[in-house]
């Protein structure tokens, strides 16, 4: 599983880091984010890239898991 921590980064950096991470075509990826905008953008990118996405929210942090379909 590829893990990526984009907490504290301003847009578009979370999206750019996620794009770079999925270029390696991991079967599963976990992205840690702390903003709603980053969450929305990362989820959209993962879904458009063929991943099934689940989101776990804890306080103001998001654990976004993508599994290749």
**11 tagged catalytic:** yes
Q: Which of 1, 11, 13, 44 is catalytic?
A: 11
Residue 26: alpha-carbon gap to chain centroid: 12
Alpha-carbon distance of 4 to 1, in angstroms, equals 10
**What are the residue numbers of the active site?**
11
């Amino acid at each position: 599983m590829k893990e990526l921590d984009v907490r504290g980064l301003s847009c578009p950096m979370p999206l750019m880091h996620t794009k770079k991470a999925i270029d390696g075509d991991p079967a599963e990826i976990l992205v840690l984010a702390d903003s709603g905008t980053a969450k929305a953008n990362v989820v959209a990118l993962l879904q458009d890239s063929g991943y099934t996405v689940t989101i776990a929210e804890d306080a103001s942090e998001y654990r976004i898991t993508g599994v290749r379909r």
